[in-house]
């Protein structure tokens, strides 16, 4: 199982680095899962590669979510879980976003399904997605103040 995951990881890294030497900053292997750390500026371009390169063909975006590592900086880590239905593999793309300017390129042009996932991250973490067609709060009411899934937001809520 682990071997298959590793073989797959090297294919993805080779393909992405052949396209752009800076595309993959780091490859993490943990518990049989592969994570590619992508520079923030290249995120959308790498995502297009992942979808359109026939050797990769990650056509399904399973999930997009965020982890807040407050008080570390850059505090936000965005995780995208990709699936290739043809090749039957999963990988994770990760990119770091700073707390001062939490902005990243939207992946809606790549996978339409990213629309609500990014709206959820925007709603709960306050990360802005550039180029998102409809960036509004999705779960919380429009007038809500603050971003509740940030680590510095109290669990019992603000009074």
Q: How many CB atoms lie within 10 A of CB 108?
A: 22
User: Do 68 and 45 meet the contact criterion of CB atoms below 8 Å apart?
Assistant: no
Q: Is 79 in the site for another protein (CB under 8 A)?
A: yes
By beta-carbon proximity to another protein, the closer residue of 117 and 127 is 117
31 near another protein (CB under 8 A): yes
Q: Token match 């990213």: residue?
A: 114
Cβ contact 144:150 at 8 Å: no
Binds another protein by CB under 8 A, chosen from 27, 39, 116, 128: 116
CB of 101 to another protein, least distance (A): 21
Task: Return the residue of 37, 48, 60, 128 that touches another protein, per CB under 8 A.
Answer: 60
Nearest distance in Å: CB 26, another protein: 14
7 binds another protein (CB under 8 A): no
DSSP H or E segment with residue 66: strand 60-68
Q: How far is the CB of 136 from another protein (least distance, A)?
A: 10
Residue 131 interacting with another protein (CB under 8 A): no
Residue 7, SS3 per DSSP:
helix
125-155 burial code (b ≥16 CB/10 A, e <16): bbbebeebeebeebeeeeeeeebbebeebee
C-alpha dihedral (44, 46, 52, 56), degrees to nearest 10: -140
158 binds another protein (CB under 8 A): no
CB of residue 18 to another protein, shortest distance in Å = 26
Binding site for another protein (CB under 8 A): 30-33, 35, 59-63, 65-69, 79, 81, 85, 88, 90, 92, 111-117, 120, 124, 137-141, 148-149, 153, 155
């Amino acid at each position: 199982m682990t071997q298959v995951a590793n073989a797959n990881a090297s294919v993805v890294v080779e393909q992405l680095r052949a396209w752009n030497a800076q595309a993959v900053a780091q490859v993490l292997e943990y518990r049989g899962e592969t994570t590619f750390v992508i520079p923030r500026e290249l995120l959308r371009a790498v995502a297009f590669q992942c979808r359109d390169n026939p050797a990769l063909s990650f056509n399904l975006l399973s999930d997009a979510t965020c982890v807040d590592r407050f008080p570390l900086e850059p505090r936000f880590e965005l995780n995208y879980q990709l699936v290739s239905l043809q090749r039957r593999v999963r990988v994770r793309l990760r990119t770091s976003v700073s707390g001062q300017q939490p902005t990243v390129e939207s992946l809606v042009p790549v996978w339409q399904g990213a629309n609500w996932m990014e709206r959820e991250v925007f709603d709960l973490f306050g990360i802005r997605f550039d180029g998102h067609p409809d960036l509004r709060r999705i779960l919380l009411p429009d007038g809500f103040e603050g971003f509740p899934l940030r680590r510095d937001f109290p669990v019992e809520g603000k009074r």
